[in-house]
């Protein structure tokens, strides 16, 4: 079975609780410490097996093999990827089964991350997630005060990319047309790199 590591938590001594997103489920498994065990890292795609532990409800994680990507050697891409995976892990922590969207999203981005900007691809994935989950908000109206944006207004984004007036959330905004293009197309092509950095920081606030 294959999946992406969304969370790792140390328990007694060197044992771990590892949360893995598979094609249809999210599994939290116990990883016993052993000198011959390969290390497990947040965000890595792994091939693994699981088995029941006697008198425990948890599964045991075993036979782990890392499925590598060339971009894992790029520190900036790896850090952006791991931040996104941690965000996703927190978002899905109460979920046991899913329809496959999240796995295929990560699988698709991971396959092409070496060819483009990690933060742009992850922002585009985040927008796709909001739309899929029904959390997406229209860009014509401030979520805080309920008033329509004027043509000259910048649009600030709160947690979950909620659109708002700058004065409502006390945050600097983005060009209104660029936000409209981003929300409608799901593409970051309109944004400069500095704007992408700012958007990524908002994204990491969560859902």
- Return the closest-CA partner of residue 102 out of 22, 188, 40: 22
What pLDDT does residue 137 have?
87
Name the residue ranges covered by the structural domains of the chain: 2-70, 73-203
Mean pLDDT over each residue of the chain, to the nearest integer = 92
Which tokens sit at 10? 């140390």
Sign of the torsion formed by the C-alpha atoms of 137, 139, 143 and 148: negative
What pLDDT does residue 11 have?
85
Query: Which class does domain 2-70 fall in?
Result: mainly beta
**Ranges 9-18, 49-58, 75-84, 180-189: which has the least confidence:** 49-58
Between the alpha carbon of residue 21 and those of residues 50, 98, 172, the distances in Å are 13, 9, 35
Q: What percent of the chain has pLDDT over 70?
A: 96
pTM of the model: 0.91
Taking residues 112-130, report their average pLDDT.
Answer: 96
List beta partners, residue 21: 4, 26
Long-range contacts of 110-114 (CB under 8 A, 24+ apart): 110/4, 110/45, 110/69, 110/81, 111/69, 113/69, 113/71, 113/77, 113/81, 114/69, 114/70, 114/71, 114/74, 114/77
- Which architecture does CATH list for 73-203? Up-down Bundle (1.20)
What pLDDT does residue 32 have?
82
* 116 has pLDDT over 80: yes
Exposure string over 42-78, b if 16+ CB within 10 A, otherwise e: bbbbbebebeeeeeeeeeebeebeeeebebbeeeebb
Helix, coil or strand: residue 74: coil
Identify the residue whose tokens are 């899929």. Answer: 132
- As a whole number of Å, the end-to-end CA separation of the chain is 29
What pLDDT does residue 50 have?
87
Reported as a single tens digit per residue, the pLDDT across 9-64 is 988 777 889 999 999 999 999 888 764 567 789 999 999 998 887 666 788 998 99
């Amino acid at each position: 079975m294959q999946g992406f590591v969304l969370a790792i938590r140390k328990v007694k001594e060197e044992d771990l609780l590892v949360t893995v997103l598979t094609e249809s489920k999210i599994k939290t498994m116990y990883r016993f410490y052993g000198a011959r065990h390969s290390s497990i890292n947040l965000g890595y795609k792994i091939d693994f097996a699981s088995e029941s532990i006697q008198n425990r409800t948890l599964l045991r994680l075993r036979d782990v093999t890392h499925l590598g990507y060339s971009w894992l050697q790029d520190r900036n891409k790896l850090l952006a990827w791991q931040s996104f995976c941690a965000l996703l892990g927190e978002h899905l922590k109460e979920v046991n089964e899913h329809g496959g969207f999240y796995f295929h999203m990560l699988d698709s981005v991971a396959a092409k991350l070496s060819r483009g900007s990690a933060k742009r691809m992850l922002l585009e994935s985040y927008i796709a997630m909001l739309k899929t989950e029904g959390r997406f908000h229209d860009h014509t109206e401030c979520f805080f005060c309920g008033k329509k944006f004027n043509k000259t207004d910048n649009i600030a984004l709160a947690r979950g990319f909620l659109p708002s007036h700058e004065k409502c959330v006390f945050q600097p905004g983005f060009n209104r047309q660029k936000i409209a293009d981003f929300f409608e197309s799901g593409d970051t092509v309109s944004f400069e790199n500095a704007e992408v950095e700012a958007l990524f920081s908002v994204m990491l606030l969560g859902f």
